[in-house]
Amino acid sequence: MIPGVLVGHHHRIEPGWATGTTVVLVPEGAVGAVDGRGGAPGTRETDLLDPANLVQQVHAICLSGGSAYGLAAADGVMRWLSERSIGFQVGAQPHHVVPIVPGAVIFDLPMSEWGNRPDSSFGYEACSNATAEFALGCVGAGAGARVGSLKGGVGTAATKVGEHHVGALAVVNAAGEAVDRATGLPWLPSLGTSAVALPERKTEGLNTTIGVVAVDAALSKAECQRLAMAAQDGLARAIRPAHTMFDGDTVFALATGAVPLAEPRAFALDALCTAAAEMFAEAVVSGAREATSLNGVTAFRDL
């Protein structure tokens, strides 16, 4: 995505299993924020990200399948970080730290046998697998994802705005469609140009698109929150309907602080927000485009 940000996946795709965890790792710390607009969120440590609260930086974002059960994956992320003395310093010794790991989950339980869902080991292994280059599609938290009547997955997009890098990662698992059922054409042209006939809409409650938008700018928590809000606009461009009562749409924002924000700040921030919306929309497109058919759920590429 951007310098200083690593991504790792761990999943199980085998008989009885189609779920996993994706970790966005920032070992040096990054200012964090969140924006949640769905009616059925499953989240962890999001109150901590309020600009009015104490902690300024996070060390990882944990995105997982497994519905609320999958929030346990963040425990493994904390363990991996604590073993390396990475976290919020709370004592005199270097290892006296509390890793700050906000997270969110998607509802993918029907894609696996009951009881097969991510636990703390998934988060730990995802951290161990974290690199600057990472796989897309039916990997990590996108293993059991669906978008409307099609298979969903993990997608990403990145661009540069002036001196700043802007990247987005989305786990696409929405109640709405990424393709217009009336025309068979995608809402965003970059998904493809040929009309397709979509399968019947799913009836299970397999919903929630979650993800992260990251920049290398030096931002405050409040400015970072504006990025997360803008990214949600991108989500709504690529999925329709979005932010329903049956989705838990949650987008995190990270700012590594490597590059100072130019003056006047408001104009520079606005340019980053515009890019955040565009990149998150493209990341949703990427998640739908890179997914492959699995467990009887057809992917866009196979239509």
pLDDT at 114: 97
Q: Can you say how many angstroms the Cα of residue 284 is from the centroid of all Cα atoms in its chain?
A: 10
The pLDDT, as a whole number, for residue 187 is: 82
CA nearest to 70, candidates 157, 171, 169: 171
| Neighbour-count burial of 258, counting CB atoms closer than 10 A to its CB (0-12 exposed, 13-18 middle, 19+ buried) | middle
Question: Residue 112, Cα to own-chain centre: how many angstroms?
Answer: 21
The pTM of the full predicted model, rounded to 2 decimals, is 0.95
Give the integer Cα–Cα distance in Å for 296 and 301: 14
- Residue 147 tokens read as 């978008």
Residue 202 has pLDDT above 80, yes or no: no
pLDDT of residue 199: 82
Q: How far apart are CA 225 and CA 247, in angstroms?
A: 20
**Res 192 pLDDT > 60:** no
One-letter amino acid at 230 equals A
Mean pLDDT score, 163-168 = 97
* 264 cis-preceded (ω within 30 degrees of 0): yes
Q: Return d(Cα 102, Cα 46) in angstroms, integer.
A: 6
Contact 280, 235 (CB under 8 A): yes
Return the minimum-mean-pLDDT range out of 177-181, 237-241, 248-252: 177-181
Specify the pLDDT at position 182: 80
Q: What is the DSSP letter of 261?
A: P
Q: From CA 98, how far away is CA 117, in angstroms rounded? A: 26
| Segment 79-89, tens digit of pLDDT | 999 999 999 99
Residue 268: CB atoms within 10 A of its CB come to 20
pLDDT in tens, 67-110: 999 999 999 999 999 999 999 999 999 999 999 999 999 999 99
* Residue 200, pLDDT above cutoff 90: no
Q: What is the predicted pLDDT for the residue at 205?
A: 59
Confidence of residue 206 (pLDDT cuts 50, 70, 90): low
Site of tokens 């499953």: 42
Q: How confident is the model at residue 143 (pLDDT cuts 50, 70, 90)?
A: very high
Domain 6-302 is classified in which CATH homologous superfamily?
L-amino peptidase D-ALA esterase/amidase (3.60.70.12)
For the chain, give every domain's residue range: 6-302
Counts of helices then strands in the chain (DSSP H, E): 4, 13
Q: In the chain, pLDDT over 70 holds for what percent of residues?
A: 95
pLDDT band at 183 (very low <50, low <70, confident <90, very high): confident
Residue type, position 294, single letter: L
> pLDDT grade, residue 289 (50/70/90)?
very high
Instruction: List the one residue out of 278, 266, 270, 268 whose CA is nearest residue 233.
Output: 278
The pLDDT mean for the chain works out to 94
